[in-house]
């Protein structure tokens, strides 16, 4: 299978709220050679902005005393999941939120699928990476350094934090974002 060709497109949509009202400023097109313009109704991937929402959820749940920053990340995962540890140190929610967990940026069982051309969605390689894949990776991973000892940006760790918070709340991530952030803020 051939890898999808990703094309860089420059576009932006900004919502501006001022004392005299609201307005939307947009620039660019949906794709190279595509004449359709973008506007305030254009749907974009949220990308790493989700990490801000995850951090807000963590702060909210800490302030409600539903979780603690120094709780082991494994505390609210199913018992069959073995979270990696090193030197007797467990990965905490704080480690996940500060990218110092020792977990890699991308799990090897996702990289393997990508390398073998088994990617089902070229635009979103995580689309078919499920909870079983997450638990399988965690249960078999060996940390290369102690949790909390060093910064390394980890999309995987940030995603795991969102999963753990949703699991603790007894819901899914999207519903938790909606009930705790976007609905209360009228977003």
128: left (phi over 0), alpha (psi -120 to 50) or beta: alpha
Are the beta carbons of 143 and 84 closer than 8 angstroms? yes
Q: Please count the residues of the chain.
A: 187
Catalytic option among 48, 108, 139, 179: 48
108: left (phi over 0), alpha (psi -120 to 50) or beta: alpha
CA distance 100 to 91: 9
100 an active-site residue?
A: no
Among 138, 35, 9, 155, which Cα is nearest to 96's?
A: 155
Are the beta carbons of 143 and 102 closer than 8 angstroms? yes
Among 184, 173, 160, which Cα is nearest to 72's?
A: 160
Radius of gyration of the chain (CA): 19
Catalytic option among 139, 153, 175, 179: 153
Query: Which residues are the active-site residues?
Result: 48, 153
């Amino acid at each position: 299978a051939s890898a999808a060709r990703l094309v860089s497109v420059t576009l932006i949509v900004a919502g501006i709220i001022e004392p005299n009202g609201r307005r939307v400023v947009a620039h660019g097109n949906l794709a190279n050679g595509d004449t359709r313009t973008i506007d305030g109704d254009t749907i974009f991937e949220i990308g790493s902005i989700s990490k801000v929402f995850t951090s807000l959820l963590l702060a909210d749940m800490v302030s409600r005393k539903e979780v603690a920053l120094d709780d082991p990340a494994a505390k609210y995962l199913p018992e069959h999941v073995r979270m990696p540890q090193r030197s007797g140190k467990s990965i905490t929610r704080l480690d996940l939120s500060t990218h110092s967990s020792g977990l890699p940026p991308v799990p090897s069982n996702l990289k393997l699928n990508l390398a073998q051309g088994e990617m089902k969605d070229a635009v979103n390689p995580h689309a078919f990476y499920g909870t079983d894949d997450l638990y399988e990776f965690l249960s078999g991973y060996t940390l290369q350094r102690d949790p909390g000892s060093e910064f390394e940006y980890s999309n995987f760790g940030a995603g795991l934090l969102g999963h753990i918070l949703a699991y603790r709340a007894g819901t899914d991530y999207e519903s938790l974002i909606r009930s705790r952030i976007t609905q209360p803020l009228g977003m």
